[in-house]
Amino acid sequence: MAGSGAKNFLNYAECTVKTQDDILPFIPESTGYSLLKFLEATDKSVFNDQFTEESMWNEFARLQIFDQHMILERKARGPDLNRNVVIDKDDFNKMQEEIVKKTEEVEELSTRLSRFASNQLTEGNPNIADLSDAHRPTKVGEMFGQLYDDEWSEAFEALKPPQEGEEEEDEVCVDVLMTLQKIVMKAFEYCSKEVESQMKRLEKDIAVAVEIKIQEKKDETEAKEPSPESAKGDNKEGRPENADQAKDQSTMQEGGGDGKGEKQAEEGMKGQVNQRLKHYVEKQAKEMIKGLASFSSKNAADVFVSEQLPTIIQGEKCNEKRVIAYSKKCIELCWYMSVQDPPMILVALADGDKMNTEQYSYHYRKGKVVELCLWPALFLHTGGPLVAKGHALPKEKGK
């Protein structure tokens, strides 16, 4: 504050306050109370008799009046333009709205950029998992192992022939094991073919839709271009009407005169566009197939149970609830395997193969040669790392 102005105001700040209670009306709300409490608790003897208690409270009230005068002076002077900017309230509100809008746009663009970068990393690269995908390969592997522990065991009990007498409860039941293995491998084969078929149909439909748009745009462009006859106007002899037209005709003659050069350039450009569109179409088809997997797998499971399962199991056992539940779960997981990019793969050892304990666990007994692979091993992709171990029944020793 200015020194001269402060002194002038201080000269006019007079009051007749004698006690602490008289000073309260001079203290503005929310200010001055802390100082008041400080003075109240202060030992008056520290002033060395320079102030009496009455004069001290009077001086404090005078300073409070002075402060109020200074506040009024600042309000009358207006804001300091060296430190503040005065704008219209409506303009200020518009600026605030614009800031909010721009902030939202930046956040949206950041999200899109992050999503794009994530897609670039995960597209066609099974080694980088999308953690937001509930059916990523590692999760599918866990569910595949759970399928063997739960639904497979229930289906085995449903298909196992009834025991007679004191027959051992832990009978191998090779026929049942082979039947359950056929179901899961048949389900994987069925899903692989169906997903591939759907992918081709989708790519074709998307490509057709894009080509239609390109053709429509091309037709509109051709409709706007004037025909050679209209371009000539009333010049029946076809002579150029000006220098620019003569130059254009000369250029056309150098290019062949019949438009072959333009046609070749157009075809080349169309080829480049189609090449870019091909990658786009494939990507969109893969994303669509994967996004609809939860619905497609259920439909595929119903079709498999009604059409394929009777070819594997005949008789009443085909309609057994536990067998149907096992078959549907096989289709669901095999469908998720097939929609991965690249697709996951199931591998089952054949009769007579050497037992591979790194990829398969023993079933019922140990041995070096496989009699039956009752549960296939799951791999991330063809030639890729192991995701879930399989189970194999070795041959008995001496056989």
Residues 13 and 144 in one domain: no
pTM over 0.85, yes/no: no
Residues 312 and 206 in one domain: yes
d(CA 282, CA 291): 14
Q: For residue 209, what pLDDT is reported?
A: 75
Q: How many residues does the chain have?
A: 399
d(CA 181, CA 59): 100
Q: What percent of the chain has pLDDT over 90?
A: 38
Q: Is residue 72 part of a domain?
A: yes
Q: What percent of the chain has pLDDT over 70?
A: 58
3-class secondary-structure state, position 351? coil
Domain span at 354: 137-160+172-215+291-394
**Domain C-terminal end among 77, 92, 124:** 77
Give the CA radius of gyration of the chain: 44
Nearest to 23 by CA among 51, 66, 60: 60
Over 80: is that where the pLDDT of 66 sits? no
Instruction: Compute the average pLDDT of residues 351-369.
Output: 94
Q: Is 189 exposed, middle or buried (0-12, 13-18, 19+ CB in 10 A)?
A: middle
Q: How many CB atoms lie within 10 A of CB 151?
A: 19
Nearest to 378 by CA among 390, 362, 391, 393: 390
Residues 196 and 316 in one domain: yes
Please tell me which residue, 301 or 125, carries the higher pLDDT value: 301
Residues 389 and 310 in one domain: yes
Residues 151 and 34 in one domain: no
Q: Is residue 272 part of a domain?
A: no
Q: Is residue 17 part of a domain?
A: yes
Q: The tokens of 347 are what?
A: 């591998």
Q: Please, are residues 123 and 283 in contact by the beta-carbon 8 Å criterion?
A: yes
Over 70: is that where the pLDDT of 325 sits? yes
Instruction: Locate all alpha helices (DSSP H) within the chain, ordered by sequence.
Output: 3-12, 33-41, 53-77, 89-122, 137-149, 151-159, 174-224, 228-232, 243-254, 260-291, 293-303, 309-312, 321-338
Please tell me which residue, 77 or 160, carries the higher pLDDT value: 160
3-state SS, 78-91, equals: CCCCCCCCCCCHHH
Q: For residue 238, what pLDDT is reported?
A: 47
Residues 327 and 193 in one domain: yes
Q: The tokens of 388 are what?
A: 């879930």
Residues 153 and 25 in one domain: no
Phi-psi region of 364 (alpha: psi -120 to 50; beta: other; left: phi over 0): left
d(CA 373, CA 352): 10
Q: Is residue 125 part of a domain?
A: no
Q: Is residue 286 part of a domain?
A: no
User: For the ranges 14-23, 278-287, 308-317, 373-382, which has the lowest average pLDDT?
Assistant: 14-23
d(CA 30, CA 328): 73
- The predicted-structure confidence for 182-207, as pLDDT tens digits, reads as follows 999 999 999 999 999 998 888 888 77
Distances (CA, A) of 327 to 17, 118, 308, 334, 363: 96, 35, 10, 10, 21
Q: Is residue 67 part of a domain?
A: yes
Q: Is residue 107 part of a domain?
A: no
**Domain C-terminal end among 77, 104, 123:** 77
Residues 297 and 375 in one domain: yes
Q: Please, are residues 371 and 363 in contact by the beta-carbon 8 Å criterion?
A: no
Residues 56 and 147 in one domain: no
Could you tell me which residues are beta bridge partners of residue 386?
A: 379
Instruction: Compute the average pLDDT of residues 37-48.
Output: 59
d(CA 59, CA 63): 6
**Domain C-terminal end among 36, 55, 77:** 77
pLDDT bucket at 252, cuts 50 / 70 / 90:
very low
Residues 188 and 46 in one domain: no
pLDDT bucket at 122, cuts 50 / 70 / 90:
low
Residues 211 and 339 in one domain: yes
> How many separate domains does the chain show?
2
Q: For residue 353, what pLDDT is reported?
A: 95
Q: Is residue 245 part of a domain?
A: no
Distances (CA, A) of 103 to 89, 107, 116, 204, 212: 21, 6, 20, 40, 38
Instruction: Compute the average pLDDT of residues 81-95.
Output: 80
Residues 183 and 47 in one domain: no
